[in-house]
Amino acid sequence: MQRSSGTFVDRSKLAVMLLRVRPKRGDGSVPIDQAKVGEVAAELMDILETTYGEDAEISAVMLITAVTHDNGAKTTVHHNASPGMPVHEGLGLLMFVQSLIARGAR
């Protein structure tokens, strides 16, 4: 991806989980739309690149997704984290983000 400064940013080391594309189901329904995950990940990467440039490394990634299903009757929450992330680190990240959201920060 080109940044506005014209420098190239190597995204090969990014730890972003994307939903797997599934073929159209036999009942004709459409697979899960991956656009929301991609848009959120791209927005975050733009913020990180603008803030830190190329002199930083992503050390941990967590993804939390709420999926509404059964014609809107149910919502299930799924999560995934960087491979090998210790439980205490994941919990610490969640608690920190909870405090940011409670303060209205993004």
* CB proximity list for 4: less than 8 A, separation 6 or greater: none
Burial tier of 17 (Cβ tally within 10 Å: 0-12, 13-18, 19+): middle
Task: Check residue 10 and give its pLDDT.
Answer: 38
pLDDT in tens, the chain (106 residues): 333 333 333 344 333 444 444 445 566 666 788 899 999 999 999 999 999 998 899 999 999 999 998 888 999 999 999 999 999 999 999 999 999 999 998 7
* CB proximity list for 80: less than 8 A, separation 6 or greater: 17, 62, 63
Q: Whole-prediction pTM value?
A: 0.63
The DSSP call for residue 55 is S
Positive/negative CA dihedral, 18, 20, 25, 28: positive
Task: Check residue 47 and give its pLDDT.
Answer: 94
Q: Would strands 62-69 and 74-81 be described as parallel, antiparallel, or unpaired? A: antiparallel
Distance CA 101, CA 76 (A): 21
